[in-house]
Amino acid sequence: MRARRPDVVIVTSGHDVADARLHREVAALLRVGLTVQVRGLGDVSGGPPGADVHVRPRRAGMGRILTAVRAALQARGDVLITLDPDAALTCASLARLRRSALVVDVHEDYGRLLLDRGWARGWKARAAQLGVRLATAAAARADLTVVADDHVPPAAARQRLVVPNVPDATMIPAGGAPADAPLRAVYVGDLRETRGLYDMVEAVAGAPDWSLDLVGPMSEADGQWLARRLQEGTLAARVTWHDRLPPRAAWQVASRAQVGLSLLHPTPAFVAAMPSKVYEYLACGLAVLSSPLPRVVELLDESGAGEVVSSADAAAAVLTRWAGDRAELARVQAGAAARGAVLRAAGNAYDGMARRVAELAAVSARGRRASGPRR
């Protein structure tokens, strides 16, 4: 018997199936009764619960483009959702042929993001920027264009919906460790120098009362650096790298901490953004220690949920102060928990997207039935 065509197929050539935004979107789609297939990278076991998950090996360069093409060719759903520029281009070419609606999720400013990539130099940078421009144009023509923030392009689209990277409270336990428990800081997200990897390790090196959990993928070069650095002093006993984990498992690790770290560098991609991890730390009840990104500074100043630091030494100093004054740490955690409760009460930002996708799926299915046999 031929398998039933899924309502929604999510196609990504660059995201692991354990990606947090992917999990949040799938959970919302399932809540409105849609069937969901995911075609991405990584390990099937890390994929969103309830979805039909298919994975391919991670490849770079032309290999990634071929991955996008193959995944698009195999994607047969009433709605196709893409998460990357290359997947957007390939699925845009096939969606009409497949009688599918197209949803493009642009959850980062990819043009600015390329400025943070060491490989994006010379002709590679020019080719990548051209690809981003073409993908942005394809996103603007999609049946629904989802963006993660107001400043994320395309600014104009047929149907544009802002779905910020806010937490799904069902995936995050409320309340971190109490201030009088063993002191732990945590980071959840991709790990590299510009995302604060080196600064976080050095901060904990300078605050010997603290341990650090790092949850997220890391390049081989950064992993080698971390292995060398952990051979010095007591760091090997205090720093744990968990690699990539599905969201629910990642936040179980985070729930044992008091502080969430977000020491992102002021790159073009980050300086205008609100890191999703900051919202997630607050939802988990963690005090936030952040680099001085403007929107985070405003949030922490208003909420009293953390502090802003401009260097690893400054971060170490704050951690050391909190270790010596657990009452102050408890007050900051209380501020974080209060703001986290507001985030939890605000409802799920992904449910609105899911309802729009359900409408597109219904229209697409009716159109297929009226046009004849499905492909």
Task: Flag whether pLDDT at 284 surpasses 80.
Answer: yes
What pLDDT does residue 141 have?
A: 94
The average pLDDT across 284-291 equals 97
Q: Mean pLDDT, the chain, as a whole number? A: 91
Give all strands (DSSP E) within 150-210, no chain letters. 160-162, 184-188
Asked whether 193 and 206 are in contact (CB, 8 A), the reply is no
Q: What is the pLDDT of residues 57-107, one digit of tens each?
A: 888 777 777 887 788 888 889 999 999 888 898 898 888 878 899 999 998
Distance CA 193, CA 185 (A): 18
- Return the amino acid letter for 130: L
The residue assigned the tokens 């501020």 is 335
Return all residues near 105 (Cβ < 8 A) that are at least 6 apart.
21, 25, 81, 82, 83, 146, 148, 163
The predicted structure's pLDDT at residue 373 = 55
DSSP track, 265-289:
---HHHHT---HHHHHHHHTT-EEE
**Which segment of 72-76, 304-308, 359-363 scores lowest on mean pLDDT?**
72-76
Task: Report which of residues 268 and 368 the model is more confident about.
Answer: 268
Long-range contacts of 297-303 (CB under 8 A, 24+ apart): 299/274, 299/339, 303/335, 303/336, 303/338, 303/339
pLDDT value of residue 365: 83
Q: Using CA atoms, how far apart are residues 117 and 138, in angstroms rounded to an integer? A: 23
Average pLDDT over residues 134-162: 92
CA pair distance 206, 180, nearest whole angstrom: 20
Amino acid at 160: R
Instruction: pLDDT band for 374, please (50, 70, 90 cuts).
Output: very low
* Report for 76-85, 156-165, 259-268, 315-324: range of highest mean pLDDT: 315-324
Question: Read out DSSP for 303-326?
Answer: H--EEE-SSHHHHHHHHHHHHH-H
Distances (CA, A) of 97 to 67, 101, 363: 19, 10, 15
Of residues 77, 85, 84, 83, the one with CA closest to residue 101: 77
Whether the predicted pLDDT of 121 surpasses 90:
no
pLDDT at 63: 76
CA distance 305 to 57: 40
Average confidence (pLDDT) over 360-369: 84
The confidence score (pLDDT) of residue 130 equals 81
Q: In whole angstroms, give the CA distance from residue 370 to residue 239.
A: 59
pLDDT in tens, 186-236: 999 999 999 999 999 999 999 999 999 999 999 999 999 999 999 999 999
Looking at the whole model, is its pTM more than 0.85? yes
Provide mean pLDDT across the span 153-181. 91
Answer yes or no: is pLDDT of 1 > 60: no
pLDDT, position 292: 97
Residue 215, SS3 per DSSP: strand
pLDDT in tens, 35-58: 999 999 999 999 999 999 999 988
Strand partners, 261: 289
Tally of CA atoms within 13 A in the half-sphere of 242 that contains its CB: 19
Helix (H, G, I), strand (E, B) or coil at 335: helix
Would you state the pLDDT for residue 51? 97
pLDDT at 115: 67
On whether the CB atoms of residues 98 and 375 are closer than 8 A, the answer is yes
Question: Quick one: which of 348, 17, 11 has its CA closest to 171?
Answer: 348
Is residue 375 pLDDT above 70, yes or no?
A: no
* pLDDT computed for residue 282 by the predictor: 96
pLDDT over 60 at 2, yes or no: no
Q: How does pLDDT run across 340-356, given as a tens digit for each residue?
A: 999 888 878 899 999 99
Q: What is the largest CA-CA distance in the chain?
A: 72
